[in-house]
Amino acid sequence: MTGRRGPRDSGNADLDLFDSGGPAPKRRVASSPPPPPPDEDFDPSSYPGETAQTAVTVSILTQTARDVIEGAFIPLWVRGEVSDFKSHRNGHWYFSLRDRTAQIKCVVWNRDQRMIPAPPDDGMQVAAFGRLTVYPARGEIQFAATKLEAEGDGLRRKALEVTRARLEKDGLLSLDRKRPLPRFPRVIAVITSPDGAALHDIVAVVRRRGCDVRLVIVPAAVQGESAPGELRAALDRVERWGGADLVIIARGGGAREDLWAFNNERVARALAACSVPTISAVGHEVDISICDLVADYRAPTPSAAAEAATRSASELRNELRKLSMRMSGATRAFVRATDNRLRHLARDVADSSADQIARRQTRLRAIAGRLHALSPLATLSRGYAVARDTTGATLSSTAAFREEMLFDLIVRDGVVPAQVRRPSEPTDTP
């Protein structure tokens, strides 16, 4: 690299040590010590500070030192151990980086902290990216860092722990908060990148399964600096729209830092505040994000999210088949029980010939076999006789029949007037 930096714009030309006529000396960016480059028109005999009379001020000295140092070093990574970390009231972070034999003061300005997951702890081995400068007020060399990475991804781990603890404290990770997913969502809002793999996978699953559902894409960047803001905005839009009955927030697999937006506390809080149930599907199976912990359901992948959210047509057909079988089974059992009752009753009922009863029973059995193919009302009414008292109330228990009582036996084609010969005992059959 041979890039050059101009002298720092101090806003005060008087402070420039070299402003004694002629252009400022050109400086070379180098890893070797910056040589004082004598230009042709540089007159050493008249440089400030040459004599006590031309002594420069401390300010000029430190400003100049800053200019020289800043011009000499391009931004670079430095590694060392963090010590004396302080987060100042003014929002800036101060600490030292050191190794066995040396140390340097470091600062991370407030505005540069946004891309750093968490403040470092004392004792952490970190690599800091930044540029070397001089802090004139103290005359100290200072390293102004804009990126920090800790050994073993320590800062991200720390940030995760901190965020997790804060959400936990507010009860947002509690299992009691988890809402069941709607059985049949009609409209699913899908918050993801409109051209990402996640959306593609979700749409493919829903189409393959023949689900009766509307997927409404709510586009948001899912990685990069703008991702947390866009994800929150998308959640907010879904909320104000109010048209979805389930929300899927998804992103396909990627590098760990690409999934970072889903560990953002404010994104997690927005997700937790969703008024409809939520599914989070971020990255691959092994990646667990804060959003995963907050969502009502965590799907290992976007495809799995789609599968959890919807039910396939074949699954539903199966369910209908099962219900149909349950109904016909129950009705068949009912017919059997009634048939039994009928037989017992027949012995005690006047005006019903044994022949008639037998015919009716035969029919009842035939009907029972055909139950699920036929409409039950028609079927049963062909074989059943319903007993009613003279007011029209159904007589469904032996207790309802009194000695000598008159009642009506209603069969398919009419009413048979009947009378109880003697009271009967209930049978074991239910």
Partner 1 sequence: MTFEQRLTRLEKIAAELESDDVELARALALFEEGIENLRGAAEELAKADARVQRLVERANGTFDTVEPRE
Q: Are 430 and 339 in contact (CB under 8 A)?
A: no
For residue 248, the minimal CB distance to partner 1 (Å) is 13
Q: Are 192 and 199 in contact (CB under 8 A)?
A: yes
Residue 214 vs 256, nearer CB to partner 1: 214
Q: Tell me, what DSSP letter sits at residue 394?
A: B
Residue 50 vs 212, nearer CB to partner 1: 212
For residue 225, the minimal CB distance to partner 1 (Å) is 22
In whole angstroms, give the CA distance from residue 72 to residue 67. Answer: 8
In whole angstroms, give the CA distance from residue 215 to residue 426. Answer: 59
Residue 145 vs 205, nearer CB to partner 1: 205
In whole angstroms, give the CA distance from residue 269 to residue 199. Answer: 23
Query: Residue 113 phi/psi, 5° resolution?
Result: -80, -15
Residue tagged 């936990």 (tokens)? 168
Residue 16 vs 236, nearer CB to partner 1: 236
In whole angstroms, give the CA distance from residue 345 to residue 350. Answer: 10
Which residues are near partner 1 by CB under 8 A? 183-184, 186, 189, 194, 203, 206-207, 210-219, 237-238, 240-241, 243, 313, 316-317, 319-320, 323-324, 326-327, 330-331, 333-334, 338, 375-377, 380-381, 384, 386, 394, 396, 430
Residue 238 vs 282, nearer CB to partner 1: 238
Residue 321 vs 359, nearer CB to partner 1: 321
For residue 254, the minimal CB distance to partner 1 (Å) is 23
Cα angle value 28/34/37 (rounded, 5°):
65
Q: Are 72 and 65 in contact (CB under 8 A)?
A: no
Residue 72 vs 386, nearer CB to partner 1: 386
For residue 429, the minimal CB distance to partner 1 (Å) is 11
In whole angstroms, give the CA distance from residue 124 to residue 121. Answer: 6
- In sequence order, which ranges of 214-312 are alpha helices (DSSP H)? 227-241, 265-272, 290-294, 302-309
For residue 238, the minimal CB distance to partner 1 (Å) is 7
Residue 78 vs 386, nearer CB to partner 1: 386
In whole angstroms, give the CA distance from residue 344 to residue 139. Answer: 111
Residues in Cβ contact with 377 at an 8 Å cutoff, skipping those fewer than 6 apart:
none
For residue 207, the minimal CB distance to partner 1 (Å) is 5
In whole angstroms, give the CA distance from residue 114 to residue 41. Answer: 46
For residue 223, the minimal CB distance to partner 1 (Å) is 20
Q: How many CB atoms lie within 10 A of CB 318?
A: 12
For residue 324, the minimal CB distance to partner 1 (Å) is 5
